[in-house]
Structure 1
Amino acid sequence: ALILTWRFLAGDERPTLRQWRDASIVGLFLLVGGNGLVSWAEQTVDSGIAALIVGTVPLWLTLFEALRPGGVKPGWQAVVGLLIGFGGIFILINPETLASAAFRVDLLGAGALVLATILWAMGSIYAKTAQVPKSVFMFTGMQMASASVGLFLVSALNGEMAAFDIRAVTLTSWMGLIYLILFGSLIAFVAYGWLLRNAPISLVSTYGYVNPLVAIFLGAWLANEVLTWRVFVAAAVIISAVVMINQSKTGKTRKSAS
């Protein structure tokens, strides 16, 4: 709502019905299917297992981009880089923790996480070819507005609205929400939308490897969390993978289906 209000006041052209349709599809796939399912699944799935499953997003993104009509096949260097990056996530999470958690995985939650990664990748690929307004801020605001309606309906059908008491929300929770609005929505999500339209999908996908690494270093800086040797090894592996992907040459573009 903040972004849409800002762009309307700034004089942006009003979106067409086709643009609203495409923005709604992208928003539902990314924010309802992707983020929504991850939030739901993490109630029953260990965070390490969840992070590993979500770490497959770059692989799905690259696969769907290669398969779509007119899509771009990744070069061998990008493929190797993606696999190395996934290995870096595995090291970062701690294989010992994963091994102990694997015996108590909630299959429904794990299945929801897999579906979430697929929906996020599909929505991202669709966004590359969707009919969008000139302003990436407008398009992103349209996605979030559409997704908010979807999330509200899902929440209401799930009975969450009846149990919600706004008076019970703590100041810490409000501050966390404000942080997510400013940095998660207004900055990060807008930047992701811009990259989808302006960068190769293999390069865009590296966010899935870099984000967990940034989170750990921020935790060490802001919360005095301990950095172990494993974190530095994983950092070296992930950075090497990102450099390899960034320097790779994309393969031939798939011919559009007749």
Structure 2
Amino acid sequence: MTSPAVDPAPETSPAPTGPAPAAPAAPGPARRRITGAVWLALGIVYIVWGSTYLGIRIVVETIPPFLSSGARFIAAGLILTAIVAWRRGPSALKVDRRRLGSAVLVGLLLIPGGNGLVVLAETSLSSGLAALLIAVVPVWVVLLRTLLGERPGLGAFGGVLLGLAGLGVLTLPGLSGTVKLSGILLVITAALLWSLGSVASSRLPMPADPFTASAYEMIAGGIAGLGIGLLRGEHHGLDLGAISGRSWAGLAYLLLVGSLVGFTAYVWLLQAAPLSLVATYAYVNPIVAVFLGALVLNEALTWPIVLGGAIVVAGVCLIVSTERRR
């Protein structure tokens, strides 16, 4: 999801998750210093999040989508809360209502909105196709920034057109009946919500400590996801004994590596690095996801996936390269 694209945003986030603000008076993300820690966190997001699509596909084989997503993020958020309190003291978790509300809102957009819908969609879609559909997050980010009064530039809009064209090609399997169109629409909606969360996280007053922000986002989003799962009746007939060992392993991987490590790295990047740089994960994750899906699950690489994916990645590259020059 997981998942923003230009300076969620991801991500996350979120994941989250827009690019540098247009107003000259505002301290734009592009002015942030790119350190070794930034590159390390970016590498984690590149590889870890690319692999989470495979993990999700394995988890939903025998575990309901929203219950698995909600439980994963609640557990990861509580673990991170304990780590923050242990390493920095309980005072590090104290935030005012305004910042707590912002963290909760971003968490709702990124987790049950962005991640939860992807998990639900992967009950009917391949992990590779889901990842490629999520790759259009940069397109939504540019469009959202435009609605907010910014001027991303002609190159960014060219990338938007490419991205939308690629999205159209990727949607062909759903229109032809090869895969469920509802699954494709779920991922497109997830990408939009992830983009909203990513843009919001760069504009709202967030907790100063990114790890505290990440903990609150995961707990709030996880609780919401769990609630959605219960409302959907996912607990009815759920037999823990019938859950496969590989689904349990996949859930543990998503919790510890995908949520605790990957999501936290993403949220930290949103505050520490230019969003245009963070957004580059959007064209690395799909490549990792498609490769792993084909290698581990023998997912087919059809021509719409290959062609549409290539167009989307080209569009994202154009958007990100244009933003990094601004």
Give the match for residue 78 of structure 1: 156
Give the whole-Å Cα distance in 2 for the aligned partners of 1:109 and 1:227: 17
Give the match for residue 16 of structure 1: 96
Alignment: residue pair count:
244
Tell me, what secondary structure is at the counterpart of 1:129?
coil
Are the structure 2 counterparts of residues 85 and 101 from structure 1 closer, same or farther at C-alpha, using a change threshold of 3 Å?
Answer: closer
- 1:211-230 counterparts in 2 under 5 A? 211-218=285-292, 223=296
Are the structure 2 counterparts of residues 82 and 211 from structure 1 closer, same or farther at C-alpha, using a change threshold of 3 Å?
Answer: farther
**Is 1:133 the counterpart of 2:207 in the alignment?**
yes
Name which of 43, 63, 70 aligns with 2:123.
43
Unaligned 5+ residue runs, structure 2?
Answer: 1-77
* Identity score, percent: 35
Tell me, what secondary structure is at the counterpart of 2:83?
helix
Deviation at 1:73, TM superposition (A): 2.8
TM-score (norm 2): 0.61
**Is 1:57 the counterpart of 2:57 in the alignment?**
no
* Counterpart AA for 2:175: A
Deviation at 1:201, TM superposition (A): 3.9
Are the structure 2 counterparts of residues 54 and 236 from structure 1 closer, same or farther at C-alpha, using a change threshold of 3 Å?
Answer: closer
Instruction: Say what the alpha-carbon RMSD is for the aligned residues.
Output: 3.7
Deviation at 1:140, TM superposition (A): 0.8
* Counterpart AA for 2:260: L
Unaligned 5+ residue runs, structure 1?
Answer: 253-258
Give the whole-Å Cα distance in 2 for the aligned partners of 1:236 and 1:102: 20
Deviation string for 1:181-209 (max 9, x for gaps)? 22211222122223333444444333232
Are the structure 2 counterparts of residues 40 and 195 from structure 1 closer, same or farther at C-alpha, using a change threshold of 3 Å?
Answer: same
Deviation string for 1:136-160 (max 9, x for gaps)? 1111111010011111111111111
Are the structure 2 counterparts of residues 233 and 36 from structure 1 closer, same or farther at C-alpha, using a change threshold of 3 Å?
Answer: closer
Are the structure 2 counterparts of residues 80 and 63 from structure 1 closer, same or farther at C-alpha, using a change threshold of 3 Å?
Answer: same
Question: Residue 162 of structure 2 contacts residue 312 of structure 2 at CA under 8 Å; is this kept in 1?
Answer: yes
Deviation at 1:6, TM superposition (A): 0.6
* Counterpart AA for 1:115: T
Deviation string for 1:184-237 (max 9, x for gaps)? 1122212222333344444433323221102234457x6496998x89999987
* Counterpart AA for 1:34: G
Are the structure 2 counterparts of residues 198 and 82 from structure 1 closer, same or farther at C-alpha, using a change threshold of 3 Å?
Answer: farther
Deviation string for 1:17-48 (max 9, x for gaps)? 22221111111111111221222234345767
Tell me, what secondary structure is at the counterpart of 2:235?
helix
Tell me, what secondary structure is at the counterpart of 2:176?
helix
Give the whole-Å Cα distance in 2 for the aligned partners of 1:184 and 1:21: 24
* Counterpart AA for 1:157: L
Give the whole-Å Cα distance in 2 for the aligned partners of 1:44 and 1:9: 41
**Is 1:2 the counterpart of 2:76 in the alignment?**
no
Give the whole-Å Cα distance in 2 for the aligned partners of 1:4 and 1:194: 15
**Is 1:153 the counterpart of 2:227 in the alignment?**
yes
Between 28-37 and 239-248, the greater mean CA deviation after superposition: 239-248
Give the whole-Å Cα distance in 1 for the aligned partners of 2:218 and 2:312: 30
Are the structure 2 counterparts of residues 247 and 206 from structure 1 closer, same or farther at C-alpha, using a change threshold of 3 Å?
Answer: closer
Between 35-44 and 150-159, the greater mean CA deviation after superposition: 35-44
Larger-gyration structure (1/2) = 1
